[in-house]
Structure 1
Amino acid sequence: MNKVYNTIFINGQAFNCAKSMSLKELLVYLEFDLSLIVIEYNNNIVNSYEFKNIFLKPQDKIEIITIVGGG
């Protein structure tokens, strides 16, 4: 069986993901700590509780901003 992929863009770089993948599944797959990131999805900031309800489509643009503590 052939897998079907979507090509999306993460921080400007092309990335192939499974066609039925949610934003949350993508972020977990990429091993991000969901409590330490801010996501811009197609030019809109997304609340973390929405990640599981957003299913990726071809040409979607995702910017991942990692929050870093320091002092």
Structure 2
Amino acid sequence: MNITTNGEAVSINPLTIQEYLVSLGIDPRRVAVELNLEILPKAQYETTQLKDGDALEIVHFVGGGAARA
């Protein structure tokens, strides 16, 4: 299936947000995720299944602001 992550088209197997972040080497506790223009609560990372066409923005928090993952 195809999704967009931080503006880049990506092909992946069906995964949850949590599984996807881990597959990217990202600690889910250290990022904020926007799914289809809505901030996703961290409590939903493990249960939210990505779907074809979804758009994600993954943001790391760094000293003095935030940066895209």
Q: Same fold (TM over 0.5)?
A: yes
Deviation at 1:49, TM superposition (A): 1.1
RMSD: 1.0
Counterpart in 1 of 2:25?
31
Per-residue CA distance 1:17-52 (angstroms, 9 max, x = gap): 112x11110000001121211100011001111001
Q: Is the 8 A contact 1:36 1:68 kept in 2?
A: no
Distance between the aligned counterparts of 1:27 and 1:42, measured in 2?
A: 16
Amino acid at match of 1:11: N
Counterpart in 1 of 2:67?
none
Q: 2:48 aligns with which of 42, 51, 54?
A: 54
Residue 10 in structure 1 maps to residue 5 in structure 2: yes
User: Which 4+ residue blocks in structure 1 deviate beyond 6 angstroms?
Assistant: none
Q: Which has the larger radius of gyration?
A: 1
Q: 1:67 aligns with which of 56, 61, 65?
A: 61
Scaled by the length of structure 2, the TM-score of the pair is 0.86
Aligned residues: 64
Gaps of 5+ in 1: 1-5
Amino acid at match of 1:16: S
Counterpart in 1 of 2:36?
42
Quick one: percent identity of the two aligned structures?
31
